[in-house]
Amino acid sequence: METHISCLFPEILAMIFSYLDVRDKGRVAQVCAAWRDASYHKSVWRGVEAKLHLRRANPSLFPSLQARGIRRVQILSLRRSLSYVIQGMPNIESLNLSGCYNLTDNGLGHAFVQEIPSLRVLNLSLCKQITDSSLGRIAQYLKNLEVLELGGCSNITNTGLLLIAWGLHRLKSLNLRSCRHVSDVGIGHLAGMTRSAAEGCLNLEYLTLQDCQKLTDLSLKHISKGLAKLRVLNLSFCGGISDAGMIHLSHMTSLWSLNLRSCDNISDTGIMHLAMGTLRLSGLDMSFCDKIGDQSLAYIAQGLYQLKSLSLCSCHISDDGINRMVRQMHELRTLNIGQCVRITDKGLELIADHLTQLTGIDLYGCTKITKRGLERITQLPCLKVLNLGLWQMTESEKVR
């Protein structure tokens, strides 16, 4: 007896449909009634984020999403009231409004008028009209929020961070990229330094402060004192922090990833402070720090030898620095040394001899390396990613 796909139980169909991409999940629902019913099983749509253009009224939209168990939504364009979404999906878990430039405090205020206990993730990146007023609403009604993205919301101030510190005690991840008005005072609020006004966000594990130009080493002092659970800290392009601030970070034992990219005032001395502490870093990015040199690699080998990822792009390091580091870095998996123009084949040979667990290396713009050094690197047994970028063979090498 021949078996046809139409004979399969709905549960089996649903299991098959769960492996399809979102577009094909929608297409199978149009084949026949049996496939439509199977495709609406909640297991098919588990974890899916609906991407919506809100342009005109569609009475069937939100009932359809709820029937499939979809609780994560990204709004691609917002021409209707945000309250339309909140009312239509009372059990929403994740709301992504990134890039909705026309979203205002008024529009957000009309949407958040009562507690939404199910909402865990809110992305307002590049919603440039949003101010502290909206953060007051969020702090009042989204008490269970765990992830808040505010990157590019350039009107946010320290007052907004005070409101966050007052109301969002369950927050685990906060992105404040390019929030130009945020200063040490605001970071103090987050870290619970003003307990009389706000308890703080003491459960924070991920904090992005990229390009917050008003921050100084005092912010790092607040972070080290109040945010003991912090695991990932991004300080890239924060020109106001210095070597002295690294002393505060050097004993944050929960911290496993630190980004100091383009922090112009960080030098070998700052890396020394980090290496002399009790850090157990897994990832460190010092790319484009002009004052980082070979001595930093010696310090890393002494105190940060457990690193799995190290980025040194455009730093003033040489083969000598590589020589001082490689013998202790047995855990290193990713090494980015692009645009380190003093690295030669000798450095690559040292890497090939000692960093045998490397899975990825960036050599973009390393103009002094040749085919001989590259041949040694490509012999690394675990290597999966090799970025060469601007590297080119010389004419004599092509002839050989």
Residue 392 has what pLDDT?
A: 44
User: Measured between alpha carbons, how far is 322 from 188 in angstroms, rounded to an integer?
Assistant: 39
Mean per-residue pLDDT, 66-95: 85
Query: pLDDT (tens digit, 9 = 90+) per residue, 315-352?
Result: 999 999 999 999 999 999 999 999 999 999 999 999 99
Q: How far, in whole angstroms, is CA 42 from its chain's centroid?
A: 29
Q: Is the pLDDT of residue 73 over 70?
A: yes
Q: Is the pLDDT of residue 254 over 70?
A: yes
* Amino acid identity at 13: L
Query: pLDDT (tens digit, 9 = 90+) per residue, 164-192?
Result: 999 999 999 999 999 999 999 999 999 99
DSSP E strands: which ranges in 217-340?
A: 232-234, 257-259, 283-285, 309-311, 334-336
Query: pLDDT (tens digit, 9 = 90+) per residue, 33-44?
Result: 777 776 766 666
The CATH class of the 1-46 domain is mainly alpha
Q: Is the pLDDT of residue 391 over 60?
A: no
Residue 60 has what pLDDT?
A: 72
> 236 with 285: CB under 8 angstroms?
yes
Q: Is the pLDDT of residue 74 over 70?
A: yes
Q: What are phi and psi of 283, to 5 degrees?
A: -135, 135
Mean per-residue pLDDT, 248-270: 97
The CATH architecture that domain 49-241 belongs to is Alpha-Beta Horseshoe (3.80)
Most confident of 54-58, 61-65, 118-122: 118-122
Residue 398 has what pLDDT?
A: 36
Q: Is the pLDDT of residue 302 over 50?
A: yes
Query: 394 falls in which pLDDT band (50, 70, 90)?
Result: very low
Query: pLDDT (tens digit, 9 = 90+) per residue, 351-368?
Result: 999 999 999 999 999 999
If we measure between CA atoms, which residue out of 212, 205, 216 comes closest to residue 236?
A: 212
Residue 241 has what pLDDT?
A: 97
Same fold, 1-46 and 255-263+275-399: no
Mean per-residue pLDDT, 101-129: 94
Residue 400 has what pLDDT?
A: 37
Give domain limits for the chain: 1-46, 49-241, 255-263+275-399
Residue 17 has what pLDDT?
A: 73
Quote the mean pLDDT of the chain.
90
What proportions of the chain, in percent to the nearest 5, are helix, strand and coil? 35, 15, 50
pTM of the complete model: 0.89
User: Measured between alpha carbons, how far is 202 from 194 in angstroms, rounded to an integer?
Assistant: 12
Burial 263-277 (b: 16+ CB within 10 A, else e): bebbbbebbbbbbbb
**What Å distances lie between residue 209 and 9, 17, 38, 287, 309, CA to CA?**
51, 41, 45, 16, 20
3-state secondary structure 69-117: CCCEEEEEEECCCCHHHHHHCCCCCEEECCCCCCCCHHHHHHHCCCCCC
Beta-bridge partners for 208: 175, 234
The CATH architecture that domain 255-263+275-399 belongs to is Alpha-Beta Horseshoe (3.80)
> 41 with 10: CB under 8 angstroms?
yes
Query: 201 falls in which pLDDT band (50, 70, 90)?
Result: very high
